[in-house]
Amino acid sequence: MTRIVIMGAAGRMGKTLLQAVDENEQAVLAGGVVEASSSLVGVDLGELAGLGKCQVMAVDSLDALRADWDVLIDFTAPAVTLENAAWCAQQGKALVVGTTGLNNEQKAALAQAAQKVPVVFAPNMSVGVNLCFKLLEMAAAALGDDYDVEVVEMHHRHKVDAPSGTALGMGEAVARALGRDLEQVAVYGREGMTGARARETIGFATLRGGDVVGDHTVVFAAEGERVEITHKASSRMTFARGAVRAACWLKSRPAGLYSMQDVLGLN
């Protein structure tokens, strides 16, 4: 049984993660952390998630947790996640990170923590999305440089980073298969007299509005035909279930930085 702690347990994703742990027969809730200033400190986490009492109370920091747990799941913000990663590395606790918006320096810091403890880091924890990553690599390798590539994503109005981590992950999967450096070929939006499209570029279009959980489409367009690979999420539960699955898989792994591709056996 994997004993899991949820960071940001009072948030929308945090509550969904609490529910996902509850429904997974291989996992048990060992704790949940909320903001130190929150009125929810000391509240039963089961009641917080609408599951009924579970006798596990929300705490205001990782230091306030009991020591007997295995994996932390973190879907918070980059700065908070890095603080938690450093804490986990020091305390010998495994970590699953679903936080998006990390820059290259922050990703390097996460990789440094993974030298001491096992870490799963993925731009998207959905099983379906990670299957799409694999399909995109296969499609890009087969279609080659004769197809223009565009990534279109839409999320709810509250999302703070753009493009989404998933969209960037999809772009990276395509770029990797085509032998390109995404940082060199990415185009984030177009306006005005841009001129003809350069063949090697990978374009990103970002839409925000309403309560869209997450829609992603990668378009491979050539003369005479178009291939599209699409994933649409209608519930945050798909991400939460993937994260809990990753946590259960991670418990018995040695230190290292893993992806959902590793968890699903797609690498």
Residues acting as catalytic residues: 155, 159
- Comparing CA positions, the residue from 243, 259, 264, 3 lying closest to residue 114 is 259
Residue 265: Cβ within 10 Å count: 7
Residue 87: Cβ within 10 Å count: 16
| Structure letter (DSSP) for residue 8 | T
Query: Alpha carbon of 37 to those of 42, 74, 79, 80, 230: distances in Å?
Result: 12, 19, 18, 15, 40
Which pair of structure tokens corresponds to residue 127? 């099983």
The answer to whether the CB of 134 falls within 8 A of the CB of 261 is yes
E strand or H helix at 218: strand 214-222
Burial degree of 53 (CB within 10 A; 0-12, 13-18, 19+): exposed
List the strands of the sheet with 118-121, edge to edge: 58-59, 27-33, 2-7, 71-74, 94-97, 118-121, 256-258
